[in-house]
């Protein structure tokens, strides 16, 4: 009888062989996958449809060529599925892979048997549905995670009817869902039913990384202030995201202009805008029209550079519309900074209490955003205390909660490990 490979023979007796199907390597997910891979009783294999985020691509939102400067593939077992179609973004039929059924049938590359469960990210692509259907045909339980929420956009009656029919089918193909937060959990209850098992797997970032990098950035704060020609005595309002219409940076700019104490006078704080995209030219034109010298456009900055700007900020603002979560809010909270978000940002409902860690205001209401800025910036102590409370709160929204949620779900659908 042939002997098992050493890796397989040393594996825990009740190890769960987990396949994770996702479109491409995602910068926010890579550290989470490394963390899951450290669980001794979870044998994780990640199946990617595309490598476009590794090789570099044109990001339509930022409007620039992007190649992430954080490791996307280190520390966990992964494979790229054979391709039928592969572009530089994610669409219904791109990336499009073949061989998913045979790959799920084979199981982990170490020869440790077939997969015990399939975790799928999203459901609105051909690859995702291929994986879900293949797993069902093979008798492999399916766990689903996605960002969807009920407030994402208006739909016609016909669209809702089609969606309802689709979810009645999907409900029979999925064994459990992994909600990222409150709004996402409500979405699953609405479309997949109250009885489908849910295990909270919160949308989190590498808290330790961003907290450490933000602390390290403090020693170089004066250099960045000099680079941007900022007076260290003045507070800083920070925006860092894609300059797209739905991000509503224009709302923040208008609110900022209203902070001016009078005609021709500058607001006390600076406004620092990090990011690029289709709205940049219009925003720069509006800033030039104001004739204020206190607005800075810094362009696209890679993920490793962002903690320098978090450290610089007094308050961070995300005024987005249709923002299912907004992971940059998690990142900034790890820097101990106050945050202001619109009520159309999904993370607001789990991470921020109005007046505690920052402020929440009605999306598109510039008067309310202006009032929120005044409220946070009324004294240096106000912003600082909000940031401290945010730093404390984000500690309980971490990868450890993600692992607990995933383990709970795997225990339910496989019965092989403890939750």
Residue 262: per-residue pLDDT: 85
The percent of residues above 90 in pLDDT, for the chain, comes to 83
Q: Is 417 helix (H, G, I), strand (E, B) or coil?
A: coil
Q: 173-200, pLDDT tens digit by residue?
A: 999 999 999 999 999 999 999 999 999 9
pLDDT-derived band at 4 (thresholds 50, 70, 90) equals: very low
- Tokens 């005024």 found at: 319
Residue 247: per-residue pLDDT: 97
Helix or strand holding residue 44 (H, E): strand 42-48
* DSSP 8-state assignment for residue 356: T
Maximum mean pLDDT: which of 69-73, 303-307, 346-350? 346-350
Q: What is the pTM of this model?
A: 0.90
On the question of pLDDT at 353 being above 90, the answer is yes
- Tokens 């406004």 found at: 271
Mean pLDDT of 358-363: 98
Residue 72: per-residue pLDDT: 92
Count CB-CB contacts under 10 A for residue 368.
18
Q: Which of 321, 317, 310 is nearest to 341 (CA)?
A: 317
Per DSSP, which regions of 193-247 are E strands? Answer: 236-240
pLDDT-derived band at 243 (thresholds 50, 70, 90) equals: very high
Residue 9: per-residue pLDDT: 43
CATH of domain 207-394: 3.40.50.2000
**Whole-number Å distance between alpha carbons of 290 and 379:** 26
CATH of domain 6-204+398-414: 3.40.50.2000
Q: Which of 274, 213, 205 is nearest to 64 (CA)?
A: 274
pLDDT-derived band at 89 (thresholds 50, 70, 90) equals: confident
Mean pLDDT of 111-140: 95
Mean pLDDT of 65-87: 85
pLDDT-derived band at 161 (thresholds 50, 70, 90) equals: confident
Residues of each domain in the chain carrying CATH 3.40.50.2000: 6-204+398-414, 207-394
Q: Is 339 helix (H, G, I), strand (E, B) or coil?
A: strand
**Whole-number Å distance between alpha carbons of 196 and 171:** 8
């Amino acid at each position: 009888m042939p002997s098992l490979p050493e890796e397989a023979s040393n594996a825990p007796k009740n190890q769960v062989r987990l396949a994770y199907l996702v479109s491409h390597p995602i910068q926010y997910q890579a550290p989470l996958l490394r963390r899951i891979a450290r669980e001794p009783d979870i044998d994780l294999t990640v199946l990617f449809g595309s490598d476009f985020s590794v090789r570099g691509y044109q990001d339509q939102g930022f409007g620039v060529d992007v190649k992430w400067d954080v490791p996307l593939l280190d520390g966990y077992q992964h494979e790229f599925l054979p391709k039928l179609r592969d572009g530089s973004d994610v669409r219904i039929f791109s990336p499009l892979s073949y061989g998913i059924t045979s790959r799920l049938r084979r199981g982990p590359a170490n020869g440790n048997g077939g997969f015990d469960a399939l975790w799928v990210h999203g459901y609105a692509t051909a690859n995702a549905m291929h994986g879900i259907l293949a797993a069902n045909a093979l008798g492999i339980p399916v766990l689903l995670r996605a960002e969807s929420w009920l407030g994402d956009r208006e739909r016609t009656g016909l669209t809702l009817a089609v969606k309802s029919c689709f979810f009645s089918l999907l409900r029979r193909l999925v064994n459990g869902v992994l909600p990222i937060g409150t709004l996402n959990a409500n979405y699953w209850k609405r479309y997949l039913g109250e009885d489908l098992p849910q295990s909270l797997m919160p949308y989190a970032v590498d808290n330790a990384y961003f907290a450490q990098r933000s602390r390290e950035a403090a020693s170089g704060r004066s250099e960045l202030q000099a680079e941007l020609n900022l007076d260290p005595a003045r507070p800083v309002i920070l925006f860092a995201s894609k300059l797209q219409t739905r991000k509503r940076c224009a709302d923040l700019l208008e609110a900022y202009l209203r902070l001016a104490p009078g005609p021709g006078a500058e607001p006390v704080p600076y406004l620092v805008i990090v990011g690029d995209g289709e709205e940049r030219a219009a925003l720069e034109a509006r800033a030039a029209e104001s004739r204020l010298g206190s607005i800075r456009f810094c362009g696209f900055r890679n993920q490793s550079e962002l903690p320098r700007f978090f450290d610089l900020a007094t308050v961070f603002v995300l005024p987005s519309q249709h923002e299912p979560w907004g992971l940059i809010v998690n990142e900034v909270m790890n820097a101990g900074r106050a945050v202001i978000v619109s009520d159309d940002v999904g993370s607001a409902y789990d991470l921020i209490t109005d007046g505690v860690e920052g402020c929440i205001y009605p999306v598109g209401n510039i008067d309310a955003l202006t009032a929120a800025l005044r409220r946070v910036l009324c004294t240096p102590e106000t912003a600082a205390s909000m940031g401290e409370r945010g730093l404390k709160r984000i500690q309980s929204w971490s990868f450890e909660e993600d692992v607990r949620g995933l383990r709970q779900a795997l225990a339910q659908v496989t019965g092989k490990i403890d939750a």
